[in-house]
Chains A and B, each alone.
Chain A
Amino acid sequence: MSITEVPAVIALCADGGLPGFPDAHHFQRVPWGGGATPFSILECEDREGLAFVVAPPELFFGDYLPVFDRPTLDRIAATNDPAEIEVLVILTLGETVADATANLLGPLVINRATGAMVQAVLSGTGWSARAALVPSR
């Protein structure tokens, strides 16, 4: 992944909030490490102190290719075209690298052009909400 593709701080908007955070609508996406890493922090403007660490799923999960249903895509006025949508997954970090997990059951889907965002709900797909980033050996 080219470092020059990492966006500067950008504004994202989840009209419907996120599961558990119905009032969290406006987020600023801040690259971690000033763009030197593929991670970003989504900082919520509506609720002080609320932030999520996010990453592109393909970094850790090469076979993760979710296809989103019409209601999900309608939320952000997009189609399943990768040129139109960006998928990020929310990370839960623990004390060590080995504890980190990604939420593959509820990825964030973003309309690249407008910044509209929704957390998809991939019921029945078997993807875990807590998938380990570092496979245990």
Chain B
Amino acid sequence: MLVLTRHANQSIMIGHDIVVTILEVRGDQVRVGIKAPRDVDVHREEVWVTLQQANAEAASSNTASLDALAGLVSQPSADEAEPTS
């Protein structure tokens, strides 16, 4: 990990297009501004990790219970006559 020390209002360049600016230091909180191209996602790390984990769990879902779940949300209309078949 590259470690740099900055004061408020100083910045860091990442690659050609990303600028990280320390806007304000107050107590144990730092306000950080990030300029990045549209195709670069910038997020709080812990939230991103939460989504990674949730996606991984979801990706290995077994669809065995999906029909039962569908049964929960189906709402036959009380106005429609029961189809005879």
Contacts and interface: CB of A to CB of B under 8 A. Distances in A.
- Binding site of B, secondary structure by majority: helix, strand, loop or mixed? helix
B81 interface: no
Contacts of B50: 105, 129
Nearest to B68: A97
B27 to A, nearest CB: 19
B44 interface: yes
Interface stretch (B7-15, B16-24, B56-64): B56-64
A5 interface: no
Contacts of B62: 93, 95
Contacts of B52: 19-20
Contact of A130 (B48, B54, B56, B70): B54
Interface string B66-80: 111110111000000
A20 B51 contact: yes
B47 A123 contact: yes
A53 B58 contact: yes
Residue among B48, B59, B70 with the highest chain A CB neighbour number at 10 A: B59
17 contacts: A19-B51, A21-B59, A37-B73, A51-B59, A52-B58, A75-B38, A90-B54, A90-B58, A91-B61, A92-B58, A95-B65, A96-B65, A97-B65, A119-B51, A121-B41, A129-B54, A133-B69
Interface of A: 15-16, 18-21, 32-33, 36-39, 41, 50-53, 59-60, 71, 74-75, 90-97, 99-100, 103, 105-106, 119, 121, 123, 129-130, 133-134
Interface of B: 38-39, 41-44, 47-48, 50-59, 61-70, 72-74
